Amino acid sequence: MATADKSSRTTAVVVIGILIVIAGVYAVMDRYVPSSARGIVSAYVVQIAPRVSGTVTQVHVADDAVVEAGDLLFSIDARPFELAVLQAEANLASALQEVDASSASLVAAQAAVTQARTALENTRADAERVFRLEERGIAATARGDAARAAVAEGEAQLEGAEARLASAKAQLGPQGEDNPIFQAAAARLEQAQYDLASTQVTAQHSGVVTNVTLSEGQFIGAGNPALTFIDAEAGWITVDLRENQLQNVKVGDPAHVLFDARPGEIHRARVQSIAWGIAPDRTTRNGLVVNQTSTRWFEPPRRIPVRIELESGPENWPAKVRVGGKAHAVIFTASTAGPVALLARGMQRLRSWVSFLH
């Protein structure tokens, strides 16, 4: 009997010791290699809306189509806007009759300015995204230089068009250029030309269109979402970590990411940002904060979003990994080669093999 009691005590001590070791390893890993299996693949998702109202005459893309910058998405009936341009040109010609000048060169010069300005707006929007990626080290410097060159070229084209327009106006003389009737007519012409150009809705950069519900003959109002656009130039993984896991996490820390869509593959990444706040779901009533009711013994931990980006950049984003997909991430706050880091890497490698099955 004494031998059995001694054996039971030894077993209990061993079990308790193992539990203490497991708890210690768990606590250490939380501080130096925090991880989460609930990462979410994220990207910029925007709804594309036209600048003008009208009837859709043609949808140029299918649902879930991959598009490049400048590709046509859909077209709006341009006839009403063409008539508006003709009316504005007639008003301008009428205003110029007072100074005995021709409106042909002025109309052409104004059209060139509108076209150059619209092109520059699209170029700048695309370049701004490239600059942000370049600042974070995701986009190559050569790509940033190409974007800067494109913006400079667009600005030069706009300056040239504006110079030709100024020259055409100067030919009218002070009486024509300073005539308020002429100025109002010129402004209406520019607006009409801009509206006409807006009937062709294009992609400002590469990405994927989804949830395409447009059809020919459908009327759509200005500013109303027509389709959803997923930006292919900015993808990241959002991981929610407990507050006590964030003690040593810093922006720039290396990380390894495993996607459920790519079992067996582990991708190198880094921490891009750590959220400064979350919504605690506090409500108010009659101007006072309402207490949160809880039926749990232990309050669940708060989780703070951490944004992780792949080192390979969005242009080398893994195929088949879609927005909203699941990811497992490990962040290395001290080293990627220490014993704790090697243990975390081994566990993630094992998970990558298991992910073939689940």
Task: Considering the domain delimited by 32-43+234-354, tell me its CATH architecture.
Answer: Beta Barrel (2.40)
Domain ranges of the chain: 32-43+234-354, 50-76+201-224, 78-198
- The pLDDT of residue 226 is 87
Out of 1.20.1050.10, 3.40.30.10, 3.20.20.70, 2.40.50.100, which CATH number does the structure's domain 50-76+201-224 have? 2.40.50.100
Helix ranges restricted to H, the chain:
2-32, 79-96, 104-135, 141-170, 173-177, 180-197, 339-354
Beta-sheet strands, E only, within 170-263: 200-202, 207-210, 219-220, 227-242, 254-259
Give all strands of the β-sheet with 219-220 in edge-to-edge order. 200-202, 72-76, 54-59, 219-220
pLDDT tens track for 169-210: 776 655 555 667 777 888 888 899 889 989 999 887 788 888
Tokens of 262: 């790519």
- The pLDDT of residue 1 is 54
Mean pLDDT, each 10-residue run in order, the chain (358 residues):
68 80 79 90 87 92 86 93 90 70 68 82 77 68 79 86 77 61 81 91 85 88 89 85 90 93 91 86 73 71 90 78 91 86 90 85
State the pTM of this model: 0.71
